[in-house]
Structure 1
Amino acid sequence: MLKTLAVSSVSLLALNLGVASTACAQVDTTSTQNETVDKAENVDTNRRLDSIVVTAQKTEQTLQEVPVALSVIGADAVNNAFASSNLESLTTLVPSVSFRKGSTNANSAITIRGIGTISFSDAAEPSVATVVDGVVLGRSGQAFGDLFDIERIEVLRGPQGTLFGKNASAGVVNIVTSGPNKDELAGYVSASYFQDQEYQVKARLTGPINDNVAASLTLSKSGFDGYIRNLYNNQDVNGYDRFGGRFQLAFEPSDDFSGLFTYEHAESDDDCCADIPALNANAARFANSQAAPGGAGLVANGSGRPVADIQLDTRVIDQDFETRTTNSFDAFSLTLNKDAFGGHTLTSISSFRSWENSEFREGDFTSSEGYADEPVNFGDVNFLLHDNGTRDNSQFSQELRIQSPTDSPVNYQVGAYYFNLQIESDFTRLASCQNNGGQNQAILDANPGLTCNANDLVSGTNFANVEFDNLALFGQADYDIIPGLNVVLGGRYTQDDVSFINSRINNDPFGRQGVGVRPHLPNGQFNFASGGYSNPARDVPTGETDNLGNPILVDVPAFQGDASETNFSVKAGINSDLGVLFRSDHNLGNAYFVYSQGYKGPAFNVFFNQGTNDTAPIGAEESDHYEIGYKIALSNVALNLAVYNTDITGFQANAFDNSTGVTITRLTNAGDVRTRGVELDGSWAVNDYLTLNGSVALNEAEIVRFNSPINPTTGEPDFPGGIFSGQDLLFSPDLNYSFGADFEMPLTATSKFYLNTTFSHVDEQESFLPGGNPDPTINPYPIGAEGLLPDYNLLDMSFGVEFNDNYRVTFIAKNLLDESFVTTNSGDTFRYQIPREADRYFGVNFRAAF
């Protein structure tokens, strides 16, 4: 076998998996007992599926034993994804997972079973936690770059709070990287090349330094010109330029003490993700552009629900400002394990991470606006709007955990966790002056000759600081009541504190307001003359210096707030080994029932246009989850079944709000939601050469009760929120399924042929919550119109030859059906995200190992 990452898991809920290279033993890489090496060892040619070991519950268990709906994506699956080797590929690998692509990593999000947090606010945490080697990431966007040297990805569905560092109301994506090889020097080089000059190069070197210390170094470099043509400058966009590296040092000075130090650095420059005009719903905006979308726009279909005639084949934009995101992060972690009293194990995980995210965003989506010497009227004279901003994130976390001996009647883990996240951000918007409502008339009257037309550009800047503190005590225990039947009990106490201060200045010397650079009355305006704020002031830099070189500061009124909340959530369940319970000599599988509570702390809606309506804290998001499951794994057949129901109160989500007459997106406790469904998956090793996989997810995620936005003038909602009851949640397709096959056949004594194919279906899905006002004369976002994304199918294939256990050549075909699709509607009735995978393309990979 090829000397690749040997310890790779089989996903029993995903396809495109390398079952043949499944190892028979795996351990948590947070421990230096990890024996992961860069060569194949003891591969079971009968492809046994009953020995898959995971660490989803912080201890070694077979996949069958874990009473949690769990998908395990092994190293082969990640590697086989090739150009799509990032978290976005989970959408097709795990049917219950969806991905919302934003204009920057900071506002992209993962949803599980339809539950996820999609927000522009820095003062809101994700519903789906992302964990890397035991360290919780403050923002999921930190993991949206290239994946490299991944041993496996575990996707835990449903609330997970009694074992992982931070509670999560929807689920956890647990990423486990490959640890150092302490037995011998090993390594590999992998190079991939695809159409349109897309490439990815990875290299790894690992081995022992002495009897007690081992190290590994992995580097990754990738680049892509892009697949969307910008007609403005005849350049391709939606590409990337990325570099990353990971260094690990494992040490074991004694038999009862071990440690793992990890340093990781990554940086990227992505001219992504341009919003593509794909719906003919705003003719005035594109009247003179070759990028104007064709089609019939919104079409009535007789049901009272308009259908969007999305132009799925368009691959052009016409924009004079490049949407771009740059990222850079450094991460340090230290994991220590100490065998202690009575066979217990003490674990400490310390981590510090810094992340800088800068975004540059085209906001008018044209190349011809902002030049008219006429007032903006949103009819035939449009506006210019360009954004740029930077976020600096710094997080520190410390976890302490005690684990009991695994052979005792009562197995338990208890721990304490502390997490601190600080975010400093600035955001500037440059836009056309706007006076269509007379908002600048007093300034114009006071300054004869001053104008406020589309070519009169004004800007505003906001400066925000956000801080999160999270302290928790958690634990979980299972007890064997009788042979084959045990009870699981867990609990978590959490204390959350979140605070913010957000100030904003108008950079125009006259204080004129522009498109999107101020909240609508009666919220505070930018400048003091037009109302200002009643909140305390803060000093912000003007960008100028005095004669001594000191920065000139100005007192700017600021919004600020803080919120604290405590929570105690529980988990209770039963898990049964049916063969042992019924005293059978055969493996009858495991059945389980679990009830668990999820919790996500309070938040604030901190963003550029924050107004007085946004200063009140947003309450915590809490969930009650019930799940019944059955798992069986024989030597060549495995089957998993899960039936679940989750009720969430205080769902934190961005809703379009028109209560003030101006459409904005506002983070709020949108209401109560429910997700329920059935998930079935299986894997069958037909013989030594062929393995078949399949999975189906039926999910109904819907709004139970919608909280209507409050009109700040009347203090009452403009309409009853019940009219939206029953609407689907975002990115929650009702039906996803996938099927695939892995085939391997020896050619000679030292070579083999292999083939992998995956077919997946993603059902139609909503891409944003309903508008804040059902009146079609005010709300430009009718329910179920352009927000409904069509279903699509994907067929991927790879095949190749392996020589001498060391060399592998693979040919890759992505989207063989050449079926185009969209993944997100970004708003403004016409903007969509069309991913790279929406086109058929081909590539080749060469891998050499030693």
Structure 2
Amino acid sequence: MLKVRNLFFIAFLLNSFIFAQDNEGVEEVIVTAQKKEERYVDVPVSVTTVSGEALEIARAGYVQEIVQASPSVTYNRTAGMRGDGIYIRGIGTSLFQSGVEPTVSAVLDGVVLGRTYNFLTNLVDIERIEILRGPQGTLFGKNASGGVINIVTKDPTDVASTDIYVQLGSNNERNFTAAFNGPVFGNAAGRFTVFNKFRDGFITNEYHKLDSSVEELMNGNDSEGFRGKLLWNLDNGTEVLLTADYENQYRTGIAATLRSMPNPGFIDGDPVTTNATCGVVPSEEENFSTCMNHPSFNEMEHSGISLTITRDLDNHVFKSITSSRDSSIATEQDVDNHWDAAWTVGIARNGGISDTQQFTQEFQLSNLESVDGLDYTLGFFYFTQDLFRNFNRRVTWPAIGFDGTGFFNTTVDSTNWALYGDTSYELSENLSLIAGLRYTNDELSYDYDRPTGPIIIPNIPSFKGSDSGEESNVSGRLGLKYNTDVDTMYFATYSTGYKSPGWDIIFEMTPAVAARGSVEPETSTNFEVGMKTKVLNDSMILAVTYFDSTFDDYQQQSFIEDLLQFRLANVGEISTSGLEVDLFGSPADNLTVNAGLALVDAVVDSWNGAQCYAGQTEALGCIGGSQDLAGGEVPLSPDFKMSVGFRYDVPMGANNMFITGSYRYQDEFQSSWNQYPNSIVESFGLLNASVGYEMMNNLSIEVFARNVMDEFYVNNYTSGGLLGDQMYLNHDHQRLWGVNLKYTLGGE
């Protein structure tokens, strides 16, 4: 329920804008939410647009950190990053299985990315990010049943410029970025960006006291990469854009810390003294240490090349986007996340690699000006992806001298093609009919081989198997759009989404699991009404949307405590509804503001047979080892979330001083599907601030602080049981300081 203090804050925020002084008008914001360039106020889609400057103000340097600038987005952190998930309106995918696609799709410069870890990248040289909320089945396809994150990087221009950024900060943070832009030859311009980012971890691994070969600091990051763009403007109205990029990320584990000790039945001896050898003391807030006796890391590599050809054809624009991308992730996890010599059984480590290779081809045709009141976009999309995964597990049982290792290899191949069309037809001068349709065809297959025998957990024999299938779907949208004037638009739409079937491909694959076949496709319906307008003497853009969505056969995994296994299943039905507000622009001279809030009620409508949480009794709803989750909270979905960011410039002759600030607040939320009471993340609010000085010699110096009030908060919890209660922390769970240096040469 919305808290009174939140209502007061909203009223104060809106009141401050109402009394803002006159302004020359907000700069037009162009988005590509409907696969063509349009003014933000003309697009009948619930979309948040976050500029590159707004990302800097919010201190969002990675895709995972856009939660700091968009209230509708949340992020689920896991130990292996393969299972990380991005959620929109409480809907997303956080799975370890190789045979399942994400519910929230990501698009990088027009190229769809096939798996969540494919887009856990650094945000460098960004023009804007568009967050399309709710099912986007018509224009973006099969894995956009929950929404789309559309990342647009800066294109080359013919004005020569060089931008160099250096950031130094807490935890030995050292970031360097350089962007070189300008004419190359003839009508061609290029842009080349290179970056390197480093920061130490913030979780101390006390096991180094016993073994110096194990790294001391966990959750550090070391990234490097580049992006190159070459843009030709030919005389015949053709534009050719060639893009190539590469990125490597190395993370020293994603370590959780203990809030409470493991189940006494899982260890030998007094649970109170567990980890005493290392000196780790479990705590709700004070424990920033772990005791992991195996190395833990994640290393990701992304690379790709794309060719975008845009051709003007009289009153039409034809676009071809061809791309090839490779992504890989190598992981080593100390699964129990702590250590003690007294443990009778230990899952020492999980590890392996995942590698995806994808090819996409898309053709689009759209008109520039209405023909008898008709606007349209037509398209063809082709996608193929080959996924290979090697997974290995080591289990030890010191009491009997057992030390066993098992592994599996799997390939998952998917081919998708689709035809789509989206139209808007003027019924009258101000009223338009919106209609869209997409036909999708999926072909999927997998091969699985686990040649190793029993290794105690789980005690299963070797297995080899394969399966394949084909699925088709028709999704679309229908609605009305009404313009009261050129800068005010109201809309109402009904849309559907689709996500392909998937398989429960994990280490515990058995003939019985394989016989269950694939989980059913995930489908969604969404009703929205909204408005977009310019307010306060056209100095700000305001967007308000009410939504009501339902997801049938939602694909989700649960963790079986007594078997230490994950299980993939279709949730019967979940729903999410609420209100979203976006407000951005320049309400006063030298002041820019980007604000938003989301009121979201995401609940489980039906899910009978869900796993119980650790310690759940029959009186608490655990019947025969399972529970009915109807009425439960959808995890990672706060009821209320808001963010606001601003920049204020103070001209000082030829120089300029500026102040920036950002604040985000969110209510408490459940972080576990099984509704474990100790997995509720408390509400929190984070304040960032900076002050800087720009000199006429194009040098800028900025001092900043993240989490100014030093408010401790948790990203998410794991749900207790045999391994104890654990919590995942973000980099800014404590106050951080730093300085930014920027030097610009040339440019407009």
What corresponds to 1:316 in structure 2?
289
Letter in 2 for 1:243: E
Matched, 1:394 2:357: yes
Q: C-alpha deviations, 1:191-237, integer Å up to 9, x for none? A: 00111211110001111112321111100101112111111116211
Q: RMSD across aligned C-alpha pairs, in angstroms? A: 2.4
Q: C-alpha deviations, 1:51-100, integer Å up to 9, x for none? A: 22212112222111111111111010223344x41112221211110001
Distance change >3 Å, CA 464–CA 260, structure 1 → 2: same
Q: 3-state DSSP class of the match of 1:839?
A: coil
Cα separation, 2, equivalents of 1:722 and 1:481: 51
More off after superposition, 342-351 vs 462-471: 342-351
More off after superposition, 594-603 vs 244-253: 244-253
Q: CA deviation at 1:743?
A: 1.2
What corresponds to 2:101 in structure 1?
125
Q: CA deviation at 1:734?
A: 0.7
- The equivalent position to 2:329 in structure 1, one of 337, 357, 366, is 357
What corresponds to 1:526 in structure 2?
461
Cα separation, 1, equivalents of 2:279 and 2:272: 5
Matched, 1:404 2:367: yes
Distance change >3 Å, CA 192–CA 559, structure 1 → 2: same
- The equivalent position to 2:548 in structure 1, one of 645, 670, 673, is 645
- The equivalent position to 1:817 in structure 2, one of 701, 705, 709, is 709
Matched, 1:762 2:735: no
- Give the unaligned 5+ runs of structure 2: 1-9, 14-21, 210-215, 613-621
What corresponds to 2:606 in structure 1?
705
What corresponds to 2:37 in structure 1?
60
Contact 1:411–1:479 under 8 Å retained in 2: yes
* Paired residues for 1:322-401 under 5 Å: 322-340=295-313, 342-369=314-341, 381-401=344-364
Cα separation, 2, equivalents of 1:644 and 1:675: 8
Q: C-alpha deviations, 1:389-410, integer Å up to 9, x for none? A: 1111101111111112334321
Q: CA deviation at 1:288?
A: 3.8
Q: CA deviation at 1:339?
A: 2.2
Q: CA deviation at 1:362?
A: 0.3
Distance change >3 Å, CA 825–CA 316, structure 1 → 2: same
Cα separation, 2, equivalents of 1:454 and 1:156: 55
What corresponds to 2:6 in structure 1?
none
Q: 3-state DSSP class of the match of 2:234?
A: strand
Amino-acid identity (%): 27
Please identify which structure carries the higher strand content.
2
Contact 1:49–1:636 under 8 Å retained in 2: yes
Q: CA deviation at 1:281?
A: 5.1
Q: C-alpha deviations, 1:719-744, integer Å up to 9, x for none? A: 69883111111111111122343211
* Paired residues for 1:109-124 under 5 Å: 109-124=85-100
Could you tell me the TM-score, scaled by structure 2's length?
0.89
Matched, 1:729 2:705: no
Cα separation, 1, equivalents of 2:485 and 2:697: 40
Q: C-alpha deviations, 1:767-799, integer Å up to 9, x for none? A: 2211xxxxxxxxxxxx33222111211011111
Cα separation, 1, equivalents of 2:400 and 2:646: 58
* Paired residues for 1:525-604 under 5 Å: 525-527=460-462, 557-579=463-485, 589-604=488-503
Q: CA deviation at 1:415?
A: 0.7
Matched, 1:426 2:390: yes
Contact 1:432–1:454 under 8 Å retained in 2: no
Contact 1:459–1:517 under 8 Å retained in 2: no
Distance change >3 Å, CA 709–CA 338, structure 1 → 2: same
Distance change >3 Å, CA 743–CA 495, structure 1 → 2: same
Q: CA deviation at 1:627?
A: 0.3
Cα separation, 1, equivalents of 2:227 and 2:90: 33
Letter in 2 for 1:741: F
What corresponds to 2:685 in structure 1?
793
Letter in 2 for 1:156: L
- Larger Rg over CA atoms: 1
Distance change >3 Å, CA 410–CA 805, structure 1 → 2: farther
Q: C-alpha deviations, 1:570-593, integer Å up to 9, x for none? A: 10111111136xxxxxx5x21100
- The equivalent position to 2:138 in structure 1, one of 149, 159, 162, is 162
What corresponds to 1:654 in structure 2?
557
More off after superposition, 493-502 vs 684-693: 684-693
Cα separation, 2, equivalents of 1:710 and 1:288: 28
Contact 1:257–1:337 under 8 Å retained in 2: yes
Q: 3-state DSSP class of the match of 2:336?
A: coil
Letter in 2 for 1:258: E
Distance change >3 Å, CA 274–CA 109, structure 1 → 2: same
Cα separation, 2, equivalents of 1:454 and 1:629: 65
Q: CA deviation at 1:649?
A: 0.3
Cα separation, 1, equivalents of 2:129 and 2:349: 38
Q: 3-state DSSP class of the match of 1:232?
A: helix
What corresponds to 1:840 in structure 2?
735
What corresponds to 2:54 in structure 1?
77
Contact 2:101–2:143 under 8 Å retained in 1: no
Matched, 1:231 2:206: yes
Cα separation, 1, equivalents of 2:113 and 2:299: 18
Q: C-alpha deviations, 1:584-631, integer Å up to 9, x for none? A: xxx5x2110010001001000111112344321100000110000011
What corresponds to 2:4 in structure 1?
none
What corresponds to 2:212 in structure 1?
none
Matched, 1:672 2:567: no
* Paired residues for 1:289-304 under 5 Å: 289-290=275-276
Cα separation, 1, equivalents of 2:649 and 2:611: 61
Cα separation, 2, equivalents of 1:165 and 1:623: 12
Q: CA deviation at 1:563?
A: 2.1
What corresponds to 1:196 in structure 2?
171
Q: C-alpha deviations, 1:348-403, integer Å up to 9, x for none? A: 1111111111000001222334xx6xxxxxxx634242111111110111111111
More off after superposition, 610-619 vs 671-680: 610-619
Q: CA deviation at 1:168?
A: 1.0
- The equivalent position to 1:625 in structure 2, one of 515, 523, 526, is 526
Cα separation, 2, equivalents of 1:414 and 1:330: 29
- The equivalent position to 1:246 in structure 2, one of 220, 227, 238, is 227
Q: 3-state DSSP class of the match of 1:482?
A: coil
Contact 1:467–1:499 under 8 Å retained in 2: yes
- Give the unaligned 5+ runs of structure 1: 1-12, 17-44, 296-309, 373-379, 434-451, 519-524, 528-556, 581-586, 712-716, 771-782
- The equivalent position to 1:260 in structure 2, one of 218, 221, 241, is 241
Q: CA deviation at 1:258?
A: 1.4
Distance change >3 Å, CA 681–CA 46, structure 1 → 2: same
Cα separation, 2, equivalents of 1:171 and 1:692: 25
What corresponds to 2:615 in structure 1?
none
- The equivalent position to 1:513 in structure 2, one of 436, 441, 455, is 455
What corresponds to 1:21 in structure 2?
none
Contact 1:430–1:457 under 8 Å retained in 2: yes
Q: 3-state DSSP class of the match of 2:64?
A: helix
Cα separation, 2, equivalents of 1:804 and 1:837: 33
Cα separation, 2, equivalents of 1:836 and 1:105: 15
Cα separation, 1, equivalents of 2:481 and 2:27: 17
Q: CA deviation at 1:275?
A: 1.9
- The equivalent position to 1:105 in structure 2, one of 81, 86, 91, is 81
Q: C-alpha deviations, 1:534-572, integer Å up to 9, x for none? A: xxxxxxxxxxxxxxxxxxxxxxx4122122111001101
What corresponds to 2:17 in structure 1?
none
Contact 2:705–2:737 under 8 Å retained in 1: yes
Cα separation, 2, equivalents of 1:225 and 1:680: 37
Contact 2:552–2:571 under 8 Å retained in 1: no
Q: How many residues align?
A: 697
More off after superposition, 565-574 vs 53-62: 53-62
Letter in 2 for 1:513: I
Letter in 1 for 2:549: T
Q: CA deviation at 1:684?
A: 6.1
Cα separation, 2, equivalents of 1:420 and 1:812: 44
